[in-house]
Each structure stands twice: as structure tokens, then as C-alpha cells.
Amino acid sequence: MKMVYVDNNATTQVASEVFEEMSPYLTRYYGNPSSMYTFAGQVGDKLREAAAKVADLLGAAPEEIVFTSCGTESDNTAIHAALRSNPDKRHIVTTRVEHPAVKSLCEDLSKRGYRVSFVPVDHKGRLDLDYLYDHLTDDTAVVSIMWANNESGVIFPIPEIAKKIRDRGIVFHTDAVQAVGKVPIDLSSVPVDMLALSGHKLHAPKGVGVLYIRKGTKFSPFLIGGHQERGRRGGTENVASIVALGKACELAGQHIEEENTRVARLRDRLESELLARIDKASVNGDVKNRLPNTTSIGFDAVEGEAVLLLMDQIGICASSGSACTSGSLEPSHVLRAMGVPFTSAHGSIRFSLSRYNTEEQIDHIIEHLPPIIDRLRKMSPFWKQSQAG
């Protein structure tokens, strides 16, 4: 059975060029980059090269790049660092639709004496900017707002927000894990103080990430140890994965055009064909301001887990914002924050493409998903009611 992988916001396949680039650093070049001899020195050079490639993609300087173990670590590090450099301030501003890497941390901090404002979104997943600006106070230590949402794909106006926050003199962090490689990012003109990205969302392996720290930003490390990463993160570097991430960023720069043309067209065709063939289906999120690879579609009167498992039978890998897949009982916090009605929230499926998807794969989904939805709806006590409504 052929597999159709359209869950690239969950993780991506490692690009073959990336694997080739990294594999010698798992085998031949095992020296510790901190050591003094040439054998290790060449490894250190390669790390600097990787940092330069990451910096290039972001419009940053190599010294502003700190490698971490994942996107989650980058997010945690950024927020903790901002709080530590502002010990008198006890207020955090973030959004209601952040990834758990930020959301759960902020919820935890709210139990430890911090006040957290969660900025709401509207029914299309767009941020309530007035709410955001109204809630900035002299007590605000950090603002953390994602660049693009992993579930809806909605992109937030980070360039505008960053300028406003800078003018208020507040530290601004953005979780750009889903945005990097999919939308152009130029930190030379967007004044964010810290930015998180994760390797496995852009065709590098899992378990490597980056925290960008703008020159001049007050910082204290999260992992305290050796002098690696210029004292900003202790721990011997994950050399092979860092090399991989460097290569992946180089490739991302080359393919960003394709992401926004060919991949976007594939996504658009998938979306419009599904909407045309399936009654009572609707897109979640602002279609005008969205990642080029993502579509989240709610199908009335069916439940997402059942859809995913039936799709799995025919090799389609996607994900769902439904409760049942996550083990929680309620639909995803993102769909709830958007006020997606229950009729379609439980039956919301996210398709996230990559440059490895083909026209044939999209055809496969377009052909096989409608009968699955139909089959489940025939089984559903709500279908008649939903049709009538």
C-alpha cells in the first residue's frame, strides 16, 4: 500500500541531502568540538558553518544562534531568560492558541506567582491585537506569541507586533517552529528579541532546535554547565543533528519559493476538491493569512479519530483536532479558542503538506476521503439533523 504523508506540521521526513550531510558526524568525525586537536577542530568549524546557515535563513548573525535539543527547550529557555532578566516584573502576555511548549509553561508559571494574559483569537483564528496592546503594562516581563499556528496554519502579524512591543521596551519572544521554511522571515527588519525553531519541522531530524537571541538581549542560560554555545547552553553539542539542521535551513531557503507556489497549489486543490465533494465541510482559520502547506477542515457530524483510523487503512497520515485522538475529552484548545462549533470541531482534520507531496497523492486523498466521511455519517445519529440544518 502506498503511503500518503500529509502530517508535516507534526513532523517531516529527513531530506536525503540532510542525512548525507550529517551521517559522517555520526561515524567518522566524532571529536568533541571543544577539544584542542585538529580532529575535533574541524567539527567545531562545521558547527559554525551550521550556525551561519541558520542565521542566513533568518536574516540574523551566526552569533545570535544557539542550538538546543528541541523547539520546546527553545521556548522554555526564552521565557525563563526573559523572566530572569526582569526579576521585578510578574506579568506575561501570550495567546490562547500557543503550542503546549509555551501554553503549559505559562499555565505553570501562573501557579508560581506570575500573572498571565492569554490573548484571544476570533472565529478565523486571528489574534485580537487590541486585547494584546491593551494588556501590556509596566509589569509585563515578556510577550510570547507564535508566528504561525500549528493547527489552523494562521499566521500572526509578527512584524507589526514586534515593533509595537519593542516600542514598549518589553522582551518579545516568538515561537516560529511552524513558520520557519514556510514563510519568509527576516529578523534584520523584524525586531523580535528571541525566536524558537525546531529541526524536525523542516526536514532535519527530531531532537534539535534553535533559539535565536538578538545581540544585546539580556540572557541567562536554562541549562547551566559548560561553556558551549558561548555559555548560553551547557552540554556537549548534538553535532550530527546540528550539521543536519544547518543543511536543512540551507535547503529551506532554496525551497521557500516552491512551498509558496507548488505546495500551496497542492494544498489549495486538496482543500477545494474536498469542499466540493463533501457536503457540510468547512475550513477552520483565516484562508487569506495561512501557512502555504496547511488546511484544517471540519466535517460535520463525524468524529476525527474514526476518520483518521479509516484513512490509516488506506495509507493516509493526517491528524485531527478531535478530543479522542489526544486522550483528552475536549477538542483542541485551538479550535475551542476559535469558537469552532462542536458540530465540526470533533470532526476536524488537519492536512499539512510538504515539498515531497505529489499530485497523485492529493488525488488519492480526494478520491478516498469522501466515501469515508459518507460511511461515518451514515452511521451517525446527527447526520440527518445536520443535513436539515
Partner 1 sequence: MWEYTDKVKDHFLNPRNVGIIENADGVGEVGSLACGDALTLYFKLDDDGRIDDVKFQTFGCASAIASSSALTEMLKGLTLDEARKISNDDIAEFLGGLPKEKMHCSVMGREALEAAIANFEGTPVEETEGEVVCECFGVTDIQIERVVRENHLTTIADVTDYVKAGGGCEKCHDQIQEIIDSVMEKEPVPKKKQTRLTNIQKIKLIEETLEREIRPALEKDGGNIELVDVDGNAVYVQLRGTCASCRLSEVTLSEYVQAKLRELVAPELVVEEVHP
Ligand X SMILES: Cc1ncc(COP(=O)(O)O)c(C=O)c1O
- Rule CB under 8 A: say whether 342 interacts with partner 1: yes
Angle at 246 between CA 194 and CA 154, to 5 degrees: 50
CB-CB contact of 351 with 275 (8 Å): no
Stretch of 227-235, 238-246, 263-271, 341-349 contacting partner 1, by CB under 8 A:
341-349
101 makes contact, choosing from ligand X, partner 1, none, with CB < 5 to 8 Å by partner type, with ligand X
- Rule CB under 6 A: say whether 175 interacts with ligand X: yes
- Rule CB under 8 A: say whether 378 interacts with partner 1: yes
CB burial string 281-293: b at 16+ within 10 A, e below: bebbbbeeebbbb
- Rule CB under 6 A: say whether 178 interacts with ligand X: yes
- The active-site residue, picked from 106, 249, 317, 324, is 324
Q: How many CA atoms lie within 13 A of 200 on its CB side?
A: 13
Amino acid at 289: N
Task: Using CB under 6 A, pick the residue from 4, 50, 65, 72 that binds ligand X.
Answer: 72
- Rule CB under 8 A: say whether 379 interacts with partner 1: yes
**Minimum distance between the CB of residue 12 and ligand X, rounded to whole angstroms?**
11
Q: Which residue is nearest to ligand X (CB)?
A: 71
324 is a catalytic site residue: yes
Nearer to partner 1 among residue 32 and residue 380 (C-beta)? 380
- Rule CB under 8 A: say whether 328 interacts with partner 1: yes
- Rule CB under 6 A: say whether 361 interacts with ligand X: no
Cα gap 174→78, rounded to integer Å? 9
Q: Which three cell numbers stand for residue 144?
A: 510570547
178 makes contact, choosing from ligand X, partner 1, none, with CB < 5 to 8 Å by partner type, with ligand X
70 makes contact, choosing from partner 1, ligand X, none, with CB < 5 to 8 Å by partner type, with ligand X
Cα gap 322→309, rounded to integer Å? 13
User: Coil, strand or helix: which one is 352?
Assistant: strand
71 makes contact, choosing from partner 1, ligand X, none, with CB < 5 to 8 Å by partner type, with ligand X
Cα gap 158→70, rounded to integer Å? 22
Backbone angles phi, psi at 225, to 5 degrees: -175, -130
Measuring CA to CA, how many Å separate 98 from each of 105, 220, 303? 10, 23, 24
Task: Using CB under 8 A, pick the residue from 302, 311, 334, 335 that binds partner 1.
Answer: 302
The residue written with cell numbers 550530527 in the block is 240
Name which of 294, 283, 286, 285 is nearest 260 in CA terms: 294
Stretch of 48-56, 171-179, 180-188, 269-277 contacting ligand X, by CB under 6 A:
171-179
Nearer to partner 1 among residue 72 and residue 343 (C-beta)? 343
**Minimum distance between the CB of residue 364 and ligand X, rounded to whole angstroms?**
25
CB-CB contact of 182 with 146 (8 Å): no
- Rule CB under 6 A: say whether 320 interacts with ligand X: no
- Rule CB under 6 A: say whether 198 interacts with ligand X: yes
- Rule CB under 6 A: say whether 101 interacts with ligand X: yes
The DSSP result for 220-283, as a single string, is --SS-SSSHHHHTS-S---HHHHHHHHHHHHHHHHHHHHIIIIIHHHHHHHHHHHHHHSSSEEE
Contacts of 346 (CB under 8 A, 6+ apart): 302, 303, 304, 322, 323, 324, 331
**Minimum distance between the CB of residue 197 and partner 1, rounded to whole angstroms?**
27
- Rule CB under 6 A: say whether 54 interacts with ligand X: no
Nearer to ligand X among residue 140 and residue 178 (C-beta)? 178
Task: Using CB under 8 A, pick the residue from 346, 350, 355, 364 that binds partner 1.
Answer: 346
**Minimum distance between the CB of residue 308 and partner 1, rounded to whole angstroms?**
9
Active site residues: 324
Residues at the contact surface with ligand X, assessed by CB under 6 A: 70-72, 99, 101, 146, 150, 175, 177-178, 198, 200, 209
Residues at the contact surface with partner 1, assessed by CB under 8 A: 301-306, 309-310, 313, 322-325, 327-331, 342-343, 346, 378-382
